[in-house]
Chain A
């Protein structure tokens, strides 16, 4: 097929979808296939190729009308990814640190005040992880494209991810301050933890961004 109207339309649609390339690839490929099928049908009906493409694009609907529907779907999918990351990362890190501390010989128990703080921060982090675990099946089932829950839940999850990561990071910093400096195992685990937490926070921010841009107010046909 020649580059032209369909390619332009898909470029515009792509630009209107603020999501990672990987997550929108399937949707855009499917839209491309559908547009080509429609153009082929018009051509089979006697239209010249360029007119067939224009007709297919016109039938598809203007980008500003169609993109919001895609954005809503992408927001829910992003939320599921964030839920998965959050509900897996925090407990895994917690268990890893527990294992490290109980099998290591790192000094005397930490000062009471810091221990309480670490536990409180761990609790906040755990709460967000539990929230994410509960939200995951719920997120998958969001049926209505414009329901209040569809709009609210992605923002809640995005916020929870960032709060959970912040709490976990502070808890980790408090814990590290009680361990001998430059001990190899804790340092390695700290680096891994920092990367995992950063990835989770990034996912949470993406979740909030896609939710904010998937405004159902613009999804009027």
Chain B
């Protein structure tokens, strides 16, 4: 899958992988790749500026914690972030429903001719 397809939804995906527990940068990347089955070819370097931007806009908060004996910057979702995540999911649902409905092959083509009983 091309990088373009994933990039537009990067914010939503980053918020989603942080829904359950705080994670540091590399763990966030790993979670996205694992959950997408490795289908998204995103350069990992795009994630860090995005995480920083999400923190600046109040959707995430970060602190330095100890991970496996090393200090790592760890992010967690704020209440604003949870609301934004809901918004992303809702919009995605609407989007995929609308496009999916159009892409579906036409079913139950009517064979009743006008005028027949």
Complexed CA–CA distance, A217 and B26 (Å): 27
Complexed CA–CA distance, A105 and B72 (Å): 59
Please name all residues of chain B whose beta carbon is closer than 8 Å to the beta carbon of A59 when the two chains form the complex. 43-44
Q: Which of A89-97, A138-146, A158-166, A180-188 contacts B (4 or more CB under 8 A)?
A: A138-146
Contact present for B45 and A31 (CB under 8 Å)? yes
Return the contact of A38 from the options B3, B26, B46, B53 (Cβ within 8 A): B26
Instruction: Count residues of chain A with CB under 8 A from any CB of chain B.
Output: 28
Q: Which of A66-74, A125-133, A189-197, A202-210 contacts B (4 or more CB under 8 A)?
A: A66-74
Please name all residues of chain B whose beta carbon is closer than 8 Å to the beta carbon of A66 when the two chains form the complex. 43, 45-46, 49
Report the nearest B residue to A65, measured CB to CB.
Answer: B43
Q: Is the interface of B mostly helix, strand, loop or mixed?
A: helix
Contact present for B49 and A34 (CB under 8 Å)? no
Report the nearest B residue to A76, measured CB to CB.
Answer: B56
Q: Is the interface of A mostly helix, strand, loop or mixed?
A: helix
Complexed CA–CA distance, A41 and B34 (Å): 14
Contact present for A142 and B3 (CB under 8 Å)? no
| Min CB gap A216→B, angstroms | 12
Please name all residues of chain B whose beta carbon is closer than 8 Å to the beta carbon of A141 when the two chains form the complex. 57-58
Contact present for A72 and B49 (CB under 8 Å)? yes
Complexed CA–CA distance, A4 and B4 (Å): 31
Q: Tell me, yes or no, whether B89 is within 8 Å of chain A by CB.
A: no
Q: Tell me, yes or no, whether B92 is within 8 Å of chain A by CB.
A: no
Counting from the closest, the 5 A-B pairs by CB-CB distance are A61-B43, A37-B26, A66-B45, A69-B49, A60-B45
Residue ranges of A at the interface with B (Cβ–Cβ < 8 Å): 26-27, 29-31, 33-34, 37-38, 41, 59-62, 65-66, 69-70, 72-73, 76-77, 140-143, 145, 221
